[in-house]
Amino acid sequence: MTGTIWVFSGSPGAGKTSVSRALLSRFPLGLHLPIDDLRELVVSGLAHPSLDHPPEAVRQFALARTAAAHHARLYAEAGFAVAIDDVLWPADVAPMAAQWTGLDVRPVRLFTTLEVAHHRNRTRTNKTYDTQSLVPLIDGLYGQMPPEAYRAAGWAVVDSSQLTLDETVEAVLGLTWPL
């Protein structure tokens, strides 16, 4: 039996990591593939993201996403539920999806108000760096990632602004697939 591959996108502070981990804890086998963690395996030459999308950062994100796609397929075929989380635009998934033919893939755009994203960013404890460095990204990405664009591309959109973590996971699990 193959597992589901969940793909979570949203701005920093949208809850991608928290939702991924909480969702996967509901399955007997779960693998979380945060693109940030794969990128942090780079020992030298790591290119950091910014709103102007430097070519080397774009290349490194593509490498991490390709690696995640391969890992996701391997684990899903072994029966694991898999969650990939990253700041993704709908077009970013196409190269990854080429690895997933025949698998159950569920893209979800997690959405929050800008105020909630900033609050979550200020209070997070899961990063090894000063999360205040993400404030310009949160502000800049907010308008660039309209939920309507994701819906139009076939993604589910879950607004977790007023939901607890458990309620958000329930909303994700309650989605009817295919959309």
Average predicted confidence (pLDDT) for the chain: 90
Indicate whether 87 pLDDT > 60: yes
Contact 30, 169 (CB under 8 A): no
End-to-end CA distance of the chain: 22
* pLDDT at residue number 81: 98
**Between 135 and 2, where is the model more confident?**
2
How far apart CA 128 and CA 133 sit, in angstroms, is: 12
Structural domains of the chain, with CATH: 4-173 (3.40.50.300)
pLDDT band for 133, please (50, 70, 90 cuts): low
Peptide bond into 12 cis (omega under 30): no
How far apart CA 152 and CA 58 sit, in angstroms, is: 24
HSE-up (13 A, CA, CB side) for residue 27:
22
Per-residue pLDDT averaged across 92-96, rounded? 91
User: Could you tell me what percent of the chain has a pLDDT over 70?
Assistant: 94
Q: What is the pLDDT of residues 23-42, one digit of tens each?
A: 999 999 999 999 989 998 99
Indicate whether 176 pLDDT > 80: yes
